[in-house]
Chain A
Amino acid sequence: MSLVNATRSELAKQFTTSMWWILAIVLVAYVGSTAAGLAAAFGANATGALPGSGSGIPALPEAAIPPLLYSLTTAVGYVFPLLIGVLIVTGEFRHMTLTPTFLATPRRGIALGGKVVAGVGMGVVYALIALVTVVGASAGILTAFGSATLLDEADTWAMLGRIVLSFVLWTLVGIGIGTLVRNQVAAIVGVIAFTQFVEPIVRLVGGIVDGVSAITRFLPGAASDALVGASIYTSLASTGDAGLDWWAGGLMLLGYAGVLLVLGFVFSWRRDVT
C-alpha cells in the first residue's frame, strides 16, 4: 500500500513544478528538429532531389531509412530520460526535501521504490512525447518525398515499443546516478559530458578501429541502441561489427540501472539526513 502512496507522491512532485514541461519542450525541439532535418536529407537524397552523388549522405537501402529516423528518439534523445531520472533524486538533495519525504515515508526502500515506479511512468510519458514528435515529423516528410514510412509493419511498431522500454531503463539509470552522486550540478554535468562527448567519441573510435567495439558495445549508449535495434551511430560504423542482440542490450541497460540503484541505496540513500 505505502509503495502506491510513495509513487503517487513522487508523481505529484514531478508534475507540481515547471521542470517536467520545460524538459518536454526542449526534448520536442531537440529530437524534432534532428528528425526533420535528417528525414528531409534522406528523402531528398533517395528521390534524387539533391544534385550529384557527392552529397556525403551514405547511400542506405530505402527500408533502412524509417527505422533509422525513428530510432533518433533514443539515439539522440536518451539524455532526456537520463536527466529526468537524475532530477527525480537530486532535487531532493538540492532543496533539502529529503527530511519531509522520509518523515512521510520512513522506510527508505519504499521511498526509493516510489521513485523507481514513478520513474517508469515518467520514462513512458517522455518516450511517448518524443515518439509522437519524431515519428510524426519523419513520417510526414518521408510521405512528402514519396518514400515508405513502414508504419504498416509490425517490426516498426515492435521497435517503437523497444524505444519506450529504453526510455524507461534510462530513467532508472538516471535515478541510480542521482542517488549515488547526490549533488545535482555534478550529476547533470557528468551525465551530459558522458553521453554527449565521452561515449560518442569512444564509440566512434570503436566504429573505426577493429576490435575496440567488442568492448564499446557494452557501453550504456551502445546497449540502448542494441535494444532499439537501429541507430544513426551503428549505421555510421564502418567495421560492421555486430552489436549486442536486442534483448542482451536491454539486459545490459537494466544491469546498469540495477547496479547503480543498489550502490546508491546502500552507500547513499540509507545515510543519516542531517
Chain B
Amino acid sequence: MPEGHVLEFTEVTKTFGPVTAVDGFSARVEPGVVTGFLGPNGAGKTTSLRILLGLVGTSSGTATIGGKRYRDLRHPLQTVGAALEASSFHPGRTAANHLAVYARASGLPRARVDEALGLVGLGDVAGRKVGGFSLGMRQRLGLAYTLLGDPGVLVLDEPANGLDPEGIKWMRGFLRELARQGRTVLVSSHLLAEIQQSADALLVIARGRLVFQGALDELTTQDEHATLVDAPDRAALTTALTDAGVPYEVLRSGLSVPGAEPAAVGAIAATAGIALSALQRRGPALEEVFLALVNGERVHPSAGDAPDPQPDPQPDPQPDPHTDAVEEGDVR
C-alpha cells in the first residue's frame, strides 16, 4: 500500500503583480483522513494547490510533500496524484491514450492505464475520444490520471464539479476509501455542503489566509445552539414566548429560540396550554459559521497568525448542565 505523506504549507505568499493571492498561508495536511480545503471563489485555493504542485512559484515560503518540494520528487506521479481542472485534454486523443502519454512520462507500465480507467468506471470508453466526453466523464478521467501512479497523496481541485448526484456520492465513498487506506487526500471546494459529508478535517482559506484548521466538529462549539419550536397556533406561541421574555426568530419552519433548551421552551408552551407540533434542539448551521469565518466576523484560534486574535465574539452562553445529555441536533 502506498504511504501517505504530510503536506505542509509554510508561510506561503504569492503575489500576481499588485494582487496578493496567497498571504502567509501555513497549514498541515495529515495522511489517513480526507481533508477538505474550503474557501470562497478567489480565496486562493487553486493558487495554493498549484504552488504545492510546483506549477506556480511562491513569492516567499515553501510548500512540501513529505518534506520535499514537488519538483524534487523522484517519481512525482507515483507520489502525488493531482486533478486540477476538467479541461486538460486534447479532444482528439482517446481516454486510454491520454493516460498512456503520462504513464510513459512517469515510466509506468501500460497496464496501469487500464487499471486506472477501471477504477473510475471508464473501462468501457477507454478507446473513445475525450472530445465526446461529458463533464462528468472528464472529471472521472481526471481522477484516473491521479490514480495512474497509485500515489499516496491525492490532491483534487473541485472534483465534484459537473458530477451528477450519483457521481458525487460515488466520489465521496471513493475518497473516503482512499483515505482509509492511509493515503493523504486533499479536496478543495467552495461549497461547505459538498465537503461536510466526506471530509474529516478542514482547512478554510479566505483572502489568501488560513482562517480555520481542524476537525469538522471543532468548527462550532456545543453551546451555540437553538431550539426550534412550532405550534399549529403559532400566534399563541409567539405571544407566550414574548410574555415569558424569551427572544425568538421567526423562520419558515417555525420559531428559533437561541440559547434555550427544548425543556424550557416546552414548559413555557405547556404553561400557556399550547399544543406543539415541533420541538427540537438545533446545532449551529455550519454554513453560517463558515461564512462568518470567511467574512472575518469570526476568528478561530487555529487561524494562522490572525491579524488581531480575539476570543469568540459570541456572547458568553449560560453554563448548561444538560448539554451532554442532549442529542446533537440536525447539523446539516
Chain A residues proximal to chain B, CB less than 8 Å = 1-2, 5-6, 8-9, 12-13, 16-19, 91, 95-97, 99-107, 114, 272-274
Contacts and interface: CB of A to CB of B under 8 A. Distances in A.
A114 B89 CA distance: 19
Pick the most buried of A9, A95, A106, A274: most chain B CB atoms within 10 A of its CB: A106
A5 B76 CA distance: 13
Contacts of A18: 92
A5 B71 contact: no
| Interface size classification for chain B | 20 to 34
Question: Which secondary structure characterizes the binding site on chain A?
Answer: helix
B47 A97 contact: no
A83 B167 CA distance: 41
A95 B91 contact: yes
Contact of A105 (B53, B91, B105): B105
B70 interface: yes
A273 B55 contact: yes
A14 to B, nearest CB: 10
Contacts of A8: 104-105
A274 B76 contact: no
B84 A99 contact: yes
B102 interface: yes
A1 to B, nearest CB: 8
B94 A16 contact: yes
A274 B56 contact: yes
A157 B54 CA distance: 48
The 4 A-B residue pairs with the shortest CB-CB distance, nearest first, are A9-B105, A104-B105, A16-B97, A106-B71
B101 A9 contact: yes
A12 B97 CA distance: 8
Contacts of A2: 107
A16 B56 contact: no
A6 B91 CA distance: 21
A106 B70 contact: yes
Contacts of A13: 90, 101
Contact of B100 (A12, A96, A100): A12
B112 interface: no
B106 interface: yes
Interface string B268-309: 000000000000000000000000000000000000000000
A8 B109 CA distance: 13
A114 B107 CA distance: 14
A17 to B, nearest CB: 4
B88 A95 contact: yes
Contact of A272 (B55, B76, B91, B145): B55
A151 to B, nearest CB: 39
Contact of A103 (B47, B53, B100, B104): B53
B50 interface: yes
B24 interface: no
A91 B101 CA distance: 14
B106 to A, nearest CB: 5
Contacts of A19: 92
